């Protein structure tokens, strides 16, 4: 988990056993999103939303899934499938590295380290 504050918000970057990397906007939960899916993730037909909820006196951010409408033949991608970009094992560490650009670093239990430009 990585915690950071900008001029306008506080956010968390998390990774976990579902092999996804999430951005949690603590000030505006609806702005939260999945930054990177797992390598074998089948959620392309699922919409994800976030909202704040009070549970037993503690404010939490709830992630909800709803099924997207089935794609039509015209809207389906053509050509070969893209290679998986996500992790194949539990994500154990997340970090941001500020150099000439901001890089997101993630590491998984099987020893794989991935990085990407996250602006």
Count other C-beta atoms under 10 Å from residue 28's C-beta: 12
Q: What is the mean pLDDT of each run of 10 residues along the chain (119 residues)?
A: 88 93 94 89 81 96 88 59 73 89 90 79
Number of domains comprising the chain:
1
Instruction: Give the strand order in the sheet containing 33-36.
Output: 2-5, 10-15, 21-25, 33-36
> pTM for the whole thing?
0.79
Q: Is 108 helix (H, G, I), strand (E, B) or coil?
A: strand
pLDDT at 111: 93
Q: Is 112 helix (H, G, I), strand (E, B) or coil?
A: coil
* Residue 85 included in any domain: no
Which domain covers residue 11, as residue numbers?
A: 2-78
Q: Are 108 and 89 in contact (CB under 8 A)?
A: yes
pLDDT at 83: 47
* Residue 87 included in any domain: no
pLDDT at 100: 85
């Amino acid at each position: 988990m990585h915690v950071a504050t900008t001029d306008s918000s506080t956010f968390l970057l998390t990774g976990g056993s579902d092999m996804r990397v999430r951005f949690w906007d603590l000030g505006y939960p609806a702005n939260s999103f999945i930054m990177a899916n797992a390598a074998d993730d089948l959620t392309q037909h699922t919409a994800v939303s976030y909202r704040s909820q009070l549970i037993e006196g503690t404010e939490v951010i709830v992630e909800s899934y709803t099924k997207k409408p089935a794609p039509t033949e015209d809207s389906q991608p053509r050509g070969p499938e893209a290679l998986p970009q996500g992790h194949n094992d539990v994500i154990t560490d997340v970090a941001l590295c500020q150099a000439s650009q901001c890089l997101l670093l993630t590491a998984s239990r099987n020893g794989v380290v991935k990085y990407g430009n996250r602006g």
